[in-house]
Chains A and B, each alone.
Chain A
Amino acid sequence: MDAALAARNRETMTKLLVICVAMLGFGFAMVPMYRQICESLGIAQTRAVGAANTQVDASRSVTVELVASSGKLPWRFEALEREVKLHPGQLVTVNYRVVNTLGRPVTAQAVMSTAPSEAGKYIEKQACFCFSNQTIGAGEERIMPVVFLVSPKAPKDLTTISLSYTFLELPGSAS
């Protein structure tokens, strides 16, 4: 085989090797491409939510305003966000914060109320600091979650709900 031909063969081989390396790269590039495509088409999301919960009514939203009231207890009690917007059936977590500024431990019970009041029966709580009474040490700060959903059975004209908690000190907690 003469030298010119050998050189031409090597050149062909080099070109083909470039294709190989490019395709190896392409194989790995399929990973981010796949993620990107699924995300932008919303495929991955549909799959995850679809598997988790088929009860979500994505056709409408409800705004839940979060209200905190300390009642007669002069400590600090507030909601970390002002409101959440959610679809009926969608499980959400919101957080309240209480800071016991009274210089003594306090045991108190939170009571829920809603406006309009009929909305109360459509709030389905899975976890709430109002399920039991809370003892907060002097100067203690506590973040307390509420996990809830608005039932898909809620009437369509119910678009805004005020969800409010009021703390009442339990008798005999002051020691």
Chain B
Amino acid sequence: MSAASPAHDTHHDDHAHAHPTGLKRWLFTTNHKDIGTLYLWFALAMFFTGGVMALLIRAELFQPGLQFVNPEFFNSLTTVHGLVMVFGAIMPAWVGFANWLIPMQIGAADMAFPRMNNWSFWLVVPAAILLVASFFVPGGAAASGWTLYPPLIIQQGISIDMTILAVHILGASSIMGSINIITTILNLRAPGMTLMKMPLFVWTWLITAYLLIAVMPVLAGAVTMLLTDRHFGTSFFNAAGGGDPTMFMHIFWFFGHPEVYIMILPAFGVVSAIIPAFARKPLFGYASMVYATASIAILSFIVWGHHMFTVGMPAAGNLFFMYATMLIAVPTGVKVFNWIATMWQGSMTFETPMLFSIGFICLFTIGGFSGLVLAVTPVDITIHNTYYVVAHFHYVLVSGALFSLFAGAYFWLPKFTGKMYNESLGKLHFWLSVIGFNIAFFPQHFLGLAGMPRRIPDYALQFAEWNMWSSIGAFIFGFSQLLFLYNVIECIRSSRKAADNPWEGADTLEWTHLPSPAPYHSFETAPVVK
């Protein structure tokens, strides 16, 4: 797209607003870029927190037998690792990108509700503290798995109440953030920025935000019922009082499946921005991308039963969920096809953002395929709750959501910081991540097919070899993430000025209309998009 005036808004740098400094600036900021930065650093911190737990898990599983941790603590580790990564790392990271990019990409000055934006972020922090602090209360952190299934969750101690409170707070924060994002996109677009001209990252976030306001309240309801079962004598899920634990699974997964798309849709947006930029071709099939995203979002509400093929639903129910789940592979396939078609005959270069995006396409597709395998009811009945499932969701979440977060971070760092990151270090980070990731998670397919259950601290001897490889891969992957941290800090401190548009093929407003670094206040007078 192009705009009427290519003039830069550098003059906004010496804007009349008073800028508090230091701690106060960050505590009270209502600036979308500041809040985006807060979210991104917070997410990175939580990523390393969850990562330490993952490495403890893999250290324990390096060999059969109990080496480092006792089984109860092991269960807490898998539970809190999952919760921290989902709610603390991936989701806040996407909200961080949304804050930074959405106003710039639609030509708005800021988010629609800047003060609520500040609240959304600062709510996340106490929630994270609650989650991590629950390790230190009597009874240890929640050990029910991140899915919080009763009856276990009804029986454990005070840490469950902390976890439930954390989920409530995170839900409130997500809902506020989503309302802000939807309102911004619907009401604050620059003149000429029609819906079908919006960059795909904005589109995917619009749909994600709708998913969030539709399912976060359902999760809030589910954990509230857990809380009243625990403390106020209700029996929603407590079989002893006539409740039904299976019902919790239905409610949880009604939230849970859309939730996995909440984590992946913005990734589709980022990859749809990066692939055209480095292939130097416009995105193939823009409109079909929008419709595919919307169909995925709608379908995601009718497939939750694929997480519960083994609970004894009637055969007709199992069949329905099986076919509905397979249907999702169609719009997902459309997307993968479009990305490949975009690269086709493009004049491609392979800078770090592009590497991570291509890595995303290859590995996410593997995750999609293992998802299809799991969607086949009779197959799932034999491999449900095995390491095959663990392999599946790490392919879609790590090499899917996380890789595209890295791709986005490298892509927009020059715009965020005004400096260029170290390209060779970025490439090293990519290659170590890909290699470590595949060594860690590919063997888990074999382990699952051979029958190794998930969430166990010890295992039968025949699983020893692939577990050893998996742990080695996990440590390679884990430690190579320090390269990313180093690269970001080094980039911020370096003196390599980035060009306003360092990427030849990037054509969204933040590249074409704003200098690098993007000024504190941008687009106070909206650009006109043709």
Residues of A within 8 A of B (CB): 5, 8-9, 12-13, 16-17, 19-21, 23-24, 26-28, 30-31, 34, 41, 43-44, 47
Contacts and interface: CB of A to CB of B under 8 A. Distances in A.
Output the residue of B175, B178, B179, B254 with the most chain A CB within 10 A: B179
B214 interface: yes
Nearest to A14: B179
Interface residues on B, range: 20 to 34
B183 A16 contact: yes
Given A30-B251, A30-B254, A17 B217 contact: no
Contact of B314 (A17, A28, A41): A41
Best-buried of A19, A27, A41 by chain B (most CB within 10 Å): A27
B138 interface: no
Nearest to B220: A24
B218 A34 contact: no
A24 B218 contact: yes
B247 A30 contact: yes
A17 B113 CA distance: 14
Contacts of B225: 28, 31
B507 interface: no
Nearest to A44: B244
A30 B217 contact: no
B407 interface: no
B233 to A, nearest CB: 16
Given A5-B188, A30-B254, A43-B313, 5 more contacts: A9-B183, A13-B113, A19-B214, A23-B216, A23-B217
Contacts of B244: 34, 44
A9 B116 CA distance: 13
Interface of B: 112-113, 175, 178-179, 182-183, 186-188, 213-222, 225, 236, 244, 247, 250-251, 254, 312-314
A12 B221 contact: no
Contacts of B213: 16, 19-20, 23
Contacts of B236: 31
A8 B178 CA distance: 17
Contact of A47 (B214, B216, B219, B312): B312
A69 to B, nearest CB: 41
Contacts of A26: 217-218, 221
B251 A27 contact: yes
Given A31-B236, A34-B250, A24 B112 contact: no
Contact of A27 (B178, B182, B221, B313): B221
Contacts of B175: 20
A38 to B, nearest CB: 8
Nearest to A31: B236
Contacts of A34: 244, 247, 250
A13 to B, nearest CB: 5
Given A9-B113, A16-B213, A27 B183 contact: no
21 contacts: A12-B179, A12-B183, A12-B187, A13-B183, A16-B178, A16-B182, A19-B213, A20-B175, A20-B216, A21-B217, A23-B214, A23-B215, A24-B218, A24-B221, A26-B221, A27-B218, A27-B221, A30-B218, A30-B251, A41-B314, A47-B312
A43 B314 contact: yes
Given A9-B112, A13-B113, A23 B314 contact: no
A3 to B, nearest CB: 13
Contact of A20 (B217, B247, B251): B217
Contacts of B251: 27, 30
B221 A17 contact: no
Nearest to A23: B217
Contacts of B219: 27
Contacts of B113: 9, 13
A9 B217 contact: no
B187 A9 contact: yes
Nearest to A34: B247
Contact of A31 (B178, B187, B247, B254): B247
A27 B216 CA distance: 10
A36 B521 CA distance: 55
Contacts of A16: 178-179, 182-183, 213
Nearest to B183: A12
Contacts of B215: 23
Given A9-B183, A12-B182, A12-B187, A24 B312 contact: no
Contacts of B187: 5, 8-9, 12
